[in-house]
Homo-oligomer: A and B are copies of this chain.
Amino acid sequence: MASETHTRLTAHPLFAEHRDIWRAVISKITTKFVAEDENVLQHGSPANALWLVLSGWVSLSRMTPDGKETIVGLCSEGDVFGEASLFAHANYPYHAQSISDETELACIPANLLRELIIEYPELSTHVMAILGERIAKAQLKLEQMSTLTASQRLGCFLLNLCRTQAQGYKTIEMPVEKHVIASFLGMKPETFSRSIGQLSEIGIKTNGATVTVENVAQLRDFVCGSCGESGMCSTEDAVMASPPASKRG
């Protein structure tokens, strides 16, 4: 394993606790680079591994019998997918596909993971917390579909890309194609374009894939005031940790 890969792998949040236990496992984990548009796993196939994203982006999607595709998840560095592998006899409930050209993934065989949890039960709390986070994220997204406008949902996505920056000017890159983001946010391409236009009123400018946010605090006010997670999500943590703004919005 290349040393950069090893560094990215050991930095993954899955291994943040109980490092002594994980250390022996890490040597058994295979990693690979996956080209853009390449399939990682198939909806309905046996869930035989847990996947970790070390870099790049992966879309999780489902197809209805009448041919409509929905993107149920977008994963990037630090995320896991294929959590069905934690349960005996489960199948993957979605397709997973690489949607960036530098996607690096690690793959932990399901039986290795399950044996490990039986042997070291203290791992189960941590793994369950990761599952709990997935539930919370899905529930939050469901809520946002009813309570946030399309431009607020797009604003929330951009705010997450600003990561821990609480205020001030920020330049970000749309990490994947706009139509993928639109589908993930549950909106049609024309609604996505209209939302971009509406965000320009609060100082957000888009040029191709580059987005400039004039004042992150103003974007936060626009989004989080209508969100039930307000005060409790990671973008809010950034605000709490930052010094008071001399000028807001």
Contacts and interface: CB of A to CB of B under 8 A. Distances in A.
A83 B125 CA distance: 12
A13 interface: no
B70 A228 contact: yes
Copies of this protein in the assembly total: 2
A209 interface: no
A238 interface: no
A142 B145 contact: yes
A139 B139 contact: no
A140 B141 CA distance: 12
Contacts of A86: 125, 128-129, 132
Contact of A64 (B43, B66, B228): B228
Contact of A127 (B72, B73, B128): B128
A232 interface: yes
A127 B124 CA distance: 10
A147 B70 contact: yes
Interface stretch (A88-96, A99-107, A155-163, A193-201): A88-96
B227 A135 contact: no
A170 interface: no
A134 interface: yes
A203 B68 CA distance: 26
Contacts of A142: 70, 72, 138, 141-142, 145, 186
Closest 10 CB pairs of A and B: A138-B138, A121-B121, A124-B124, A62-B228, A87-B129, A131-B131, A68-B147, A70-B143, A64-B228, A72-B139
Given A64-B147, A84-B136, A128-B128, 7 more contacts: A64-B143, A65-B224, A117-B124, A118-B125, A124-B127, A124-B128, A138-B138
